[in-house]
């Protein structure tokens, strides 16, 4: 045990860097994915059939494709298209596309769950379509989408571990490097697992707190 703790101490900076990169990647992906997801969700509910169709295809393809395949595709494809993305950027791109589809679908569900009387009431007091979205529909939809949205954040942190397979130096890859040097396989995988666990449980708790706060006002 003492030996292991010494090794953790020796490797503290690489592990810390990896942990930070994991958080940064997940944060970037949830931010971009939420913007994308809002656009997608609104299109899925309100756009005319022809416009809606490509969004539907996007969501279904993303949700039917394993995240790892998205990551590998985002890693290999841009270069032949003349785009030079770093592995980290490719990873964020893949996670964003993944999150955008999931959040879009979430939002579609919660927008459609709002009773039609709400939109009618908003129209009847003379709100324009964007005003109705911004002041009446989205606030209600986002509130009910909050718990699964937090869950998407947890999925992104978990999913970011797959970026180790394209050489992104996040927590899991750094852990594997340390294992390569120390051969303390169980100890360091368990250590990394605990870091993921604690981060995700904390995120979950923050989500619950926010939910209570948001719920208290409604």
Partner 1 sequence: MGYSLHFGAIWASFDRLLSGLAIGLGLAIAAVLIGTFLGLLAAFASVGPSRLGRLIAGSYVMMIRNLPLLVLVLLVYFALPQAGIRLDKYESFIGALALYSGAYLTEVFRAGLLSVPKGVVEAGRAIGLTRFQTGIWVTAPVMLRNALPSLGNTFISMFKDSSIAAAIAIPELTFEARKINVDTFRVVETWLVASGLYVAACFAIASFLRSLERRFPKF
Query: Least distance (Å) from partner 1 to the CB of residue 130?
Result: 34
Query: Least distance (Å) from partner 1 to the CB of residue 94?
Result: 11
Residue listed under structure tokens 């904390």: 202
DSSP the chain: -HHHHHHHHHTHHHHHHHHHHHHHHHHHHHHHHHHHHHHHHHHHHHS-HHHHHHHHHHHHHHHHS-HHHHHHHHHHHHHHTT----HHHHHHHHHHHHHHHHHHHHHHHHHHTS-HHHHHHHHHTT--HHHHIIIIIHHHHHHHHHHHHHHHHHHHHHHHGGGGGGT--SHHHHHHHHHHHH--HHHHHHHHHHHHHHHHHHHHHHHHHHHHHHHHH-
From 100-108, 126-134, 150-158, 208-216, span contacting partner 1 (CB under 8 A): 150-158
One of 1, 50, 81, 125 touching partner 1 (CB under 8 A): 81
Mask for 110-149, x = binds partner 1 (CB under 8 A): ----------------------------------------
- Which of positions 199-218 make contact with partner 1 (CB under 8 A)? 200-201, 204
CA atoms within 13 A on the CB side of 113: 14
**By the rule CB under 8 A, 192 interacts with partner 1:** yes
From 89-97, 112-120, 125-133, 194-202, span contacting partner 1 (CB under 8 A): 194-202
Mask for 45-74, x = binds partner 1 (CB under 8 A): ---------------xx-xxxxxxxx-xx-
Mask for 153-172, x = binds partner 1 (CB under 8 A): -x--xxxxxx-xx------x
Query: Least distance (Å) from partner 1 to the CB of residue 212?
Result: 19
Query: How far is the C-alpha of 164 from the C-alpha of 114, rounded, in Å?
Result: 41
> Which residues here bind partner 1, judged by CB under 8 A?
60-61, 63-70, 72-73, 76-77, 79-82, 154, 157-162, 164-165, 172, 176, 179, 185-186, 189-190, 192-193, 196-197, 200-201, 204
């Amino acid at each position: 045990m003492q030996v292991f703790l010494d090794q953790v101490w020796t490797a503290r900076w690489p592990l810390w860097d990896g942990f930070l990169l994991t958080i940064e990647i997940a944060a970037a992906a949830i931010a971009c994915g939420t913007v994308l997801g809002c656009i997608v969700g609104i299109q899925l509910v309100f756009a005319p059939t022809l416009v809606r169709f490509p969004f539907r295809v996007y969501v279904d393809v993303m949700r039917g494709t394993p995240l790892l395949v998205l990551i590998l595709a985002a890693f290999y494809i841009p270069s032949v298209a003349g785009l030079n993305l770093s592995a980290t950027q490719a990873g964020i791109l893949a996670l964003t596309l993944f999150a955008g589809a999931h959040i879009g679908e979430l939002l579609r569900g919660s927008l459609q769950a709002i009773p039609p009387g709400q939109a009618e009431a908003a129209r009847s007091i003379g709100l324009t379509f964007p005003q109705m979205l911004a002041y009446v529909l989205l606030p209600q939809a986002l509130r009910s989408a909050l718990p699964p949205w937090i869950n998407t954040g947890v999925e992104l942190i978990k999913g970011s571990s797959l970026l180790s397979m394209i050489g992104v130096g996040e927590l899991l890859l750094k852990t594997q490097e340390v294992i390569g040097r120390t051969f303390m396989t169980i100890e360091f995988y368990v250590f990394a697992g605990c870091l993921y666990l604690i981060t995700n449980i904390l995120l979950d708790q923050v989500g619950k707190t926010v939910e209570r706060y948001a719920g208290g006002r409604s």
